[in-house]
Amino acid sequence: LLTILCLYYSAKTNKIIFTLFAGISVGVLLELHYINLVFLPIFGLSIFLLFPVKKAILNLFVGSVGILLGDSMFILFEIRHGFPNTRSAFEFLFRGSTVSPRSNNISSLFEDTTRMLYDSSFGFRGLGIKLLEIFSIGGFVFWISGQLKKRDSWPKIILLGVWFVGGIMGV
């Protein structure tokens, strides 16, 4: 949430310091668990959708510096101890998962992951989870339709859309 908020303020105020803070928060996320690597492409895509190309490249560089700052304690730990976590992450990525998806259909996987997200977050089952899914996505679409005419709302729409869809697709 801090990353999204900082990216929003960076786009709204055109102050690059907020992109640095967003990068630091992503770096801290990476330090918490390597599953958060999913946020790196989401972070980069958000920057390229929020800024014109030249500003996006500068913001991406500053954000990358922030990521290195936020992740610096983990990087130092890895260097000191011979990269044990990095090796296990690569082993997991290249060995593959023992769990295979129930379907190769992207929309089915998206719905399945969304359902699991709502189930684990709110504890609903069956019809309750389907209603929550419909109302939350419907509410988001309704909110977006009201925001489309406002030029200053585009950063909000871009960030929420990219982070929601990218986060679910990453999981």
Instruction: Retrieve residue 138's tokens.
Output: 């419907």
Residue 99 · residue 116 · CB < 8 Å: no
Residue 49 · residue 158 · CB < 8 Å: yes
**DSSP letter, residue 34:** G
- Does the reported pTM lie above 0.75? no
Average pLDDT over residues 150-163: 77
pLDDT surpasses 90 at 134: no
Condensed to tens digits (0 to 9), the pLDDT of residues 111-120 reads: 777 777 777 7
Helix (H, G, I), strand (E, B) or coil at 32: helix
Most confident listed range (51-55, 87-91, 133-137): 51-55
The neighbour count for residue 105, using CB atoms within 10 Å, is 11
